[in-house]
Amino acid sequence: MAEMIIDGTAVEFTDEKNLLEVVRKVGIELPTFCYHSELSIYGACRMCMVEIEGRGMVAACSTPPEPGLVVNTNTPKLQKNRRMILELLLANHHRDCTTCEKSGGCKLQDLAQRMGVRQVRFGHREKIVPIDYSSPAIVRDPNKCILCGDCVRVCAEVQGIGVLDFINRGSEAEVSPAFGKNLADVDCVNCGQCASVCPTGALVVRSEIEDVFKALNDPTKVVIAQIAPAVRVAIGEEFGFQPGEVAMGQMVAALKKMGFDKVFDTSFSADLTVLEETHEFLERVQKGEHLPQFTSCCPAWVKYAEQYHPQLLSQLSSCRSPQQMFGSVAKRFFTRDMNIDPKDLVVVSIMPCTAKKFEGKRPEFTVEVDGVKVPDVDSVLTTQELARMIKEYGFDFANLEPEPLDMPFGLSTGAGMIFGNSGGVAEAVLRAAEEMATGQSTGQVKFSQVRGLEGIREAEVEVAGNKVRLAVVHSLSNAKALLEKIAKGEAEYHLIEVMACPGGCIGGGGQPLPNDTGARLKRRKGLYTVDKQQPLRKSQDNPLLQNLYTKWLDKPGSEVAHNTLHTDYGTRRRITGEEISLLTNGQAKVEVSVCVGTCCYLGGSYSTLQELLRRVKEEGLGDRVDVRATFCLENCAGGPAVKVGDEILGGMDPSHVDQLLEIVKGKLK
Annotate 54-102 with three-state secondary structure: CCEEEEHHHCCCCCCCEEECCCHHHHHHHHHHHHHHHHCCCCCHHHCCC
Helix (H, G, I), strand (E, B) or coil at 647: strand
The answer to whether residue 53 is catalytic is no
Determine if residue 27 is left, alpha or beta; phi over 0 gives left, psi from -120 to 50 gives alpha, anything else beta: left
Closest alpha carbon to 410 in 511, 529, 527, 326? 326
The radius of gyration computed from the CA coordinates of the chain, to the nearest angstrom, equals 27
**Cα-Cα-Cα-Cα dihedral sign, residues 518, 520, 523, 525:** negative
* Catalytic, out of 102, 181, 356, 538: 356
CA dist 23 and 52 (Å) reads 13
The answer to whether residue 37 is catalytic is no
Measured CA to CA in angstroms, residue 564 lies from 225, 272, 410, 568, 607 at distances of 19, 11, 20, 12, 45
Residues 267 and 229: beta-carbon distance below 8 Å? yes
401 DSSP β-pair partners: none
Determine how β-strand 56-59 pairs with β-strand 138-140: unpaired
87: how many CB neighbours lie within 10 A of its CB? Answer: 16
Spatial neighbors of 555 by CB under 8 A, at least 6 apart, are 549, 561
Closest alpha carbon to 108 in 55, 140, 75, 148? 148
CA dist 170 and 167 (Å) reads 10
The answer to whether residue 280 is catalytic is yes
* Catalytic, out of 276, 359, 497, 611: 359
Helix (H, G, I), strand (E, B) or coil at 366: strand
The answer to whether residue 191 is catalytic is no
* Catalytic, out of 238, 277, 434, 497: 277
Spatial neighbors of 80 by CB under 8 A, at least 6 apart, are none
* Catalytic, out of 48, 155, 198, 505: 505
The answer to whether residue 364 is catalytic is yes
The answer to whether residue 101 is catalytic is no
The answer to whether residue 97 is catalytic is no
Measured CA to CA in angstroms, residue 31 lies from 28, 111, 462 at distances of 9, 7, 51
* Catalytic, out of 208, 280, 306, 497: 280
Residue type, 651: G
Determine how β-strand 2-6 pairs with β-strand 9-13: antiparallel
Measured CA to CA in angstroms, residue 444 lies from 269, 332, 448 at distances of 22, 35, 11
DSSP conformation class of 200: S
The answer to whether residue 277 is catalytic is yes
* Catalytic, out of 269, 296, 317, 477: 317
* Catalytic, out of 45, 48, 61, 297: 297
Closest alpha carbon to 535 in 445, 620, 652? 445
Closest alpha carbon to 129 in 180, 165, 91? 180
Residue type, 422: S
Q: Residues with catalytic annotation?
A: 277, 280, 297, 317, 356, 359, 364, 505
